[in-house]
Structure 1
Amino acid sequence: MNATEHDVLAGVGARLRALRQARSISLAALAAETGLTSSTLSRLENGKLRPTLEQLLPLARAHGVPLDDLVAAPPTGDPRIHLRPIRRAGFTVVPLTRRPGGVQAYKVIYPPAASSPAAVLQTHDGYEWFYVLNGRVRLDLGDQVYELGPGEAAEFDTRTPHRIASADAQPAELLTLFGAQGERAHLSPHG
């Protein structure tokens, strides 16, 4: 194995662990889903076992990611962004940025209010800015309730209790910028 192959395979275990933890599933549940043993999965995640294609294919399928993501394949030079929607708590998130850290961009689609699960106000570190592309959005922020329509935007400190949802019987579609470290989106005209 040359140095490049070693570098590619060295990070597979950490990526596998992160994907499993992001799905909040146990090694036993993943073993049942993939047909691999819990022991094999543990050794792969800890870097004690070199992954084979026969192991990586069912893992990629189970986690819903391309094989290239598991091995951190180098980019091909294709400038297009290949969007991979993620379903969370009844809404759909499409990551638009792939670099770690800093302000992250997402397209978020909230289901119609009637089909949206009852959500509680949440708090977490960070700062959020969103722009309503389509539909109407209800933003509960602290003790205040705001309704925003297409072309309107909001920004807030996510340490303030908040909830975002569709405000009516139609889905709501937003462009969201989020800074986990509290970075704010600074928009300025070019001069």
Structure 2
Amino acid sequence: MSAEPAIVGGAAASDLLAAGLLGAHVRGLRKARGLTLVQLATATELSHPFLSQLERGLAQPSLGSLRRIAVALGTSPLELIAAAEAPTADVPATEVHRGAGGDLEADFAVGSGRLLAHPVRPFHPMVYAADNTAPGDYFAHAEDEFSYVLDGRVCLDLDGEVTELGVGDASYYAGGVAHRTWSADGAPFRLLIVKQRPPHSAATD
């Protein structure tokens, strides 16, 4: 296992707040998934002490470690980062997202995602962009997901059944269905993805 002793004792107040929010979200999601810290450590190949520090807001993960944690918890680095950067207080009743800037963008699957709503909303709409030509690993999570092709041609693999989709095509798959996408013609593609928000548990050890 690899440990990351990125202690945040000397960090700024905003960094400490973000670390605390990220840790609380990871802890809540782990609880909601029914995993112990030991099980999460095994799944991510990260050390138990490091994960314990992370959940208590005392350590910050690298992007690589965050990706491992996200996959093990059936979510994405984008959603974990969003939860850390957006406290639940003062969520507006309405939101307007313009095309240029302002939204959180981060790794999602094997491409990048742009979250189009506050992370505490019951659904996470996002624009996903990628150009991978190989299928890569499957992703699976407990929440339902909908995808709509904005640009390009995409191969969508749902539990081993591959379908080629073009602009305007859409798909819906229930939670637990293993899925992955790749370019059908070698060109970049973009999807609008709407995913149920991962659960958050307030349970404690």
TM-score normalized by the length of structure 1 = 0.54
Q: Secondary structure at the match of 2:120?
A: coil
Kept after mapping to 2: 8 A contact 1:112/1:167: no
Which residue is 1:189 aligned to? none
Name the CA distance, whole Å, in 2 between partners of 1:180 and 1:80.
Answer: 19
Check if 1:93 corresponds to 2:113.
yes
Check if 1:106 corresponds to 2:126.
yes
Name the CA distance, whole Å, in 2 between partners of 1:161 and 1:16.
Answer: 26
Kept after mapping to 2: 8 A contact 1:137/1:149: yes
Check if 1:45 corresponds to 2:53.
no
Give unpaired runs (5+ residues) of structure 2.
1-13, 28-43, 67-80, 200-205
Name the CA distance, whole Å, in 2 between partners of 1:70 and 1:101.
Answer: 11
TM-score normalized by the length of structure 2 = 0.51
Name the CA distance, whole Å, in 2 between partners of 1:16 and 1:125.
Answer: 20
1:84 is matched by which residue type in structure 2?
Answer: L
Kept after mapping to 1: 8 A contact 2:16/2:57: no
Name the CA distance, whole Å, in 1 between partners of 2:91 and 2:122.
Answer: 21
Which residue is 2:6 aligned to? none
Give, in angstroms, the shift of residue 19 of structure 1.
Answer: 8.3
Which residue is 2:170 aligned to? 153
Q: Secondary structure at the match of 1:15?
A: helix
Which one has the largest radius of gyration? 1
Which residue is 1:172 aligned to? 189
Deviations, residues 133-177 of structure 1 (Å, cap 9, x unaligned): 000111111232100000111111131222122222111101111
2:162 is matched by which residue type in structure 1?
Answer: V
Name the CA distance, whole Å, in 2 between partners of 1:86 and 1:107.
Answer: 11
Deviations, residues 80-103 of structure 1 (Å, cap 9, x unaligned): 542121124430111111141512
Give, in angstroms, the shift of residue 45 of structure 1.
Answer: 2.4
Name the CA distance, whole Å, in 1 between partners of 2:177 and 2:162.
Answer: 13
**Two-structure CA RMSD over aligned residues (Å):** 4.5
Going from structure 1 to structure 2, the CA distance change for 1:162 and 1:13 (only over 3 Å counts) comes to: closer
Q: Secondary structure at the match of 1:14?
A: helix
Q: Secondary structure at the match of 2:21?
A: helix
Give, in angstroms, the shift of residue 12 of structure 1.
Answer: 5.3
Percent identity of paired positions between Structure 1 and Structure 2:
23
Q: Secondary structure at the match of 1:45?
A: coil
Kept after mapping to 1: 8 A contact 2:154/2:183: yes
Name the CA distance, whole Å, in 2 between partners of 1:122 and 1:128.
Answer: 11
Deviates more, 1:8-17 or 1:136-145: 8-17
Q: Secondary structure at the match of 1:126?
A: coil
Kept after mapping to 1: 8 A contact 2:140/2:175: yes
Give unpaired runs (5+ residues) of structure 1.
1-7, 30-40, 47-58, 183-191
Q: Secondary structure at the match of 2:140?
A: coil
Aligned residues between the structures: 144
- Which consecutive aligned stretches of 4+ in structure 1 deviate over 4 angstroms post-superposition? 8-13, 18-21, 70-76
Q: How does 1:125-164 map to 2 (within 5 A)?
A: 125-164=142-181
2:20 is matched by which residue type in structure 1?
Answer: A
Kept after mapping to 2: 8 A contact 1:129/1:155: yes
Which residue is 2:104 aligned to? 84
Going from structure 1 to structure 2, the CA distance change for 1:120 and 1:179 (only over 3 Å counts) comes to: same
Give, in angstroms, the shift of residue 9 of structure 1.
Answer: 11
